[in-house]
A = this chain, B = another copy of it.
Amino acid sequence: MTDPRPLPIFEDVIAAHTRIAPHIHRTPVLTSGFLNEMTGADLFFKCENFQKAGAFKVRGASNAVFGLSDSMAAKGVATHSSGNHALSLSYAAGRRGIPCTVVMPHTAPEAKKAAVRGYGGRIVECEPSTTSREAVFARVQAETGADFVHPYNDPRVIAGQGTCSRELLDQVAGLDAVIAPIGGGGMISGCCLTLSALAPDMQIYAAEPEQADDACRSFKAGHIIADDAPVTIADGLKVPLKENTWHFVSTYVTDILTASETEIIEAMKLTWQRMKIVIEPSCAVPLATILKNPQVFRGKRIGVIITGGNVDMDKLPWMAGESRNRLI
């Protein structure tokens, strides 16, 4: 499905920031002397794990929800997601007091379903297949007339995510580069949108799991390559690029670096141990690639986007049996 709306421009980021400011946190930037020494770089971690609903996704979702006219808002919003976008859209809709419907496979973790309901979202279950999801979602839209907020390809969502690097530039002077995980490309597109306007010389790196490296292969091939069902512990990064995010990635990204599952888990554990923060596997991918490619980052000032902190504490990847279960 092609999004008929035009690509967002930087003025959309500014408007988004004003619109969502009452509903989000201006998250802190943390540093670690230990990790700086280990990498030879100055790392500035933008902690969206402390964001409302536990992830940066609330920026884009809030921009979509609070940008609706009253008459459109009355019909509510809808999406398909079993991840942070589902939580974030439910949170934003709850703040505006409008309905939110999330189509989610019945196999999704109970904890995610509970979190969506906790924010006031309604879940409609589908089978864990694209066919079923699309059919169920079409029915939901027909029944409710709800506005569809795509997790990352929606221009309003990209503009919302762009507010994150706008804050980062305000918080840290003299950055040489920014690095963020890439799945569907919403966060990276937001970075591209903001940095190309405010700091066009800054380098933009995307970090991706080796086992879900479709964006990296797309970047090299010059066109979108979508994998069917990649298997990685970084479960926020399994989705493919779409035309809007591909535009930003192909135009502005410096390079896409990858890391193995073991490297991702080690970087995640290292961050928990040394920085004392809870981060998702997905947001450990940038640090994993920095540790793997020290020559790219040494001596530079690097902004690292920590995208979220929604983790099942009972299934940590270094717990006995967990990594084996996930990686086979």
Interface residues of A (CB under 8 A from B): 28, 30, 33, 49-50, 52, 54, 269, 272-273, 275-279, 309, 311, 313-314, 316, 318-320
Which of B54, B316, B319, B320 makes the CB contact (< 8 A) with A276?
A: B54
Beta-carbon contact of B309 and A276 below 8 Å: yes
Which single member of B50, B276, B279, B313 contacts A49 (CB below 8 Å)? B276
Given A28-B28, A269-B313, also A276-B50 (CB < 8 A): yes
Please state if A318 and B309 are interface contacts (CB–CB under 8 Å).
no
Task: Point out the residues of chain B lying under 8 angstroms from A33, CB to CB.
Answer: 52
Question: How far, in angstroms, from A255 to B55 measured CA to CA in the complex?
Answer: 38
Give 7 CB contacts A-B under 8 Å: A49-B276, A50-B276, A54-B276, A269-B313, A273-B278, A276-B279, A316-B316
Q: A272 — which chain B residues lie within 8 A by C-beta?
A: 278, 313
Give the residues in chain B near A320, CB-CB below 8 Å.
Answer: 319-320
B313 with A273: CB separation less than 8 A = yes
Are B273's CB and A276's CB within 8 A? no
A13 → chain B closest CB, angstroms? 25
Q: Considering the complex, give the chain B residue whose CB is closest to the CB of A280.
A: B276
- CB-CB < 8 A to A277: which residues of B? 276-278
Residues on B with C-beta less than 8 A from A276 are 49-50, 54, 277-279, 309
CB < 8 Å neighbour of A278 from B50, B278, B319: B278
A313–B309 touching, CB < 8 Å: no
- New A-B pairs, 19, CB < 8 Å, besides A30-B50, A276-B277, A313-B316: A28-B28, A33-B52, A49-B276, A50-B275, A50-B276, A54-B276, A269-B313, A273-B311, A273-B313, A276-B278, A276-B309, A277-B277, A277-B278, A313-B318, A314-B318, A316-B316, A319-B319, A319-B320, A320-B320
Please name all residues of chain B whose beta carbon is closer than 8 Å to the beta carbon of A318 when the two chains form the complex: 313-314
